[in-house]
């Protein structure tokens, strides 16, 4: 999953810690899980975690991640890569507030909003 996002955003993993790296006791089946990772792309930073063992998360639409782009072509390229295997909710299009905007749900069920302010 992490490598998918790294490739989609043409990013770089700048820090990765697994639960086994921490000082607290952890079950063997959780040691290789990610406690913290920083994914940098352009001027943006996304921090990702598997969460502690037993933590329940949901991708049933309760959150949307928003990414704003300075470059319309880069936004379209990233949007199309992230949409692979997922669902486009709203295709990229000019909007009334003076931006190109689109929404999708990626193949992992994460909702994304893309925005590029037109000059």
pLDDT at 19: 94
Asked if the structure places residue 57 within a domain, the reply is: no
Which residue range forms the structural domain that includes residue 70? 64-117
Per-residue pLDDT reduced to its tens digit, 75-95: 999 999 999 999 999 999 999
Q: DSSP secondary-structure letter at 104?
A: E
For residues 77 and 44, state if they share a domain. no
Segment 32-56 shows an average pLDDT of: 89
Least confident residue range of 8-17, 28-37, 44-53: 44-53
SS3 call for 96: coil
For residues 44 and 7, state if they share a domain. yes
**pLDDT above 80 (res 60):** no
Per-residue pLDDT reduced to its tens digit, 66-75: 999 999 999 9
Per-residue pLDDT reduced to its tens digit, 105-117: 999 999 999 999 9
The pTM assigned to this predicted structure is 0.84
**pLDDT above 80 (res 62):** no
Residues 48-66 as b/e (b if ≥16 CB within 10 A, e otherwise) read eebeeeeeeeeeeeeeeee
In the chain, how many domains are there?
2
Q: Which residue has the higher pLDDT, 51 or 117?
A: 117
**Rounded to an integer, what distance in angstroms lies between the CA atom of residue 78 and that of residue 5?**
10
For residues 105 and 79, state if they share a domain. yes
For residues 29 and 71, state if they share a domain. no
pLDDT at 21: 94
The CATH number for 100's domain is 3.10.180.10
Asked if the structure places residue 55 within a domain, the reply is: no
**pLDDT above 70 (res 61):** no
């Amino acid at each position: 999953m992490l490598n998918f996002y790294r490739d989609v955003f043409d990013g770089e993993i700048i820090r990765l810690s697994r639960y086994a790296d921490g000082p607290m006791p952890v079950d063997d089946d959780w040691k290789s899980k990610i406690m913290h990772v920083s994914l940098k792309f352009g001027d943006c930073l996304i921090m990702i975690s598997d969460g502690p063992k037993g933590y329940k998360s949901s991708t049933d639409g309760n959150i949307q991640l928003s990414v704003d782009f300075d470059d319309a072509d880069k936004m379209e390229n990233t949007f199309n890569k992230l949409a692979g295997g997922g669902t486009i909710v709203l295709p990229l299009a000019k909007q009334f507030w003076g931006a190109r905007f689109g929404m999708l749900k990626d193949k992992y069920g994460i909702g994304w909003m893309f925005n590029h302010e037109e000059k």
